[in-house]
Amino acid sequence: MPVSLSFQQVDVFAERPLQGNALAVVSNADALTDEQMAAFARWTNLSETTFLLRPTSPDADYRVRIFTPRRELPFAGHPTLGSCHVWLDNGGLPQGKEVVQECGAGLVRIRRDGARLAFAAPPLMRSGKVDDATLKQIATGLGISLESVLDSNWVDNGPGWVAVLLSSREEVLAIRPDYPALNGLNVGVVAPWNDVGAEADVEVRAFMGDEYAEDPVTGSLNASLAQWLVAGGKLPQRYVSSQGTVIGRRGRVHIEEIDGDIWVGGEVQRCVAGEVWF
User: pLDDT tens across 55-74, in order?
Assistant: 999 999 999 999 999 999 99
- The CATH architecture assigned to 126-259 reads Roll (3.10)
pLDDT score for 10: 98
Q: Which residue ranges in the chain fall short of pLDDT 70?
A: none
In Å, what is the CA distance from 254 to each residue of 69, 116, 227, 239?
A: 27, 9, 13, 6
User: pLDDT tens across 173-198, in order?
Assistant: 999 999 999 999 999 999 999 887 78
User: pLDDT tens across 248-257, in order?
Assistant: 999 999 999 9
Global pTM reads 0.95
pLDDT score for 210: 86
pLDDT score for 208: 94
pLDDT score for 113: 85
- DSSP states of 209-241: TTTTEEESS-HHHHHHHHHHHTTTTSS-SEEEE
Domain extents in the chain: 4-122+265-277, 126-259
pLDDT score for 248: 97
Hey, which CATH number is domain 4-122+265-277, 3.40.190.10, 3.90.660.10, 3.10.310.10, 3.40.50.300?
A: 3.10.310.10
Each as own residue / partner, the long-range contacts of residues 105-111 (CB below 8 Å, 24 or more positions apart, any chain) are: 105/74, 105/75, 105/157, 105/158, 107/57, 107/59, 107/60, 108/75, 108/80, 110/80, 110/81, 110/84, 111/263
Q: Which residues are bridge partners to 53 per DSSP?
A: 63
Q: Which residues are known catalytic residues? A: 48
| Contact predicate 262/268, CB 8 Å | no
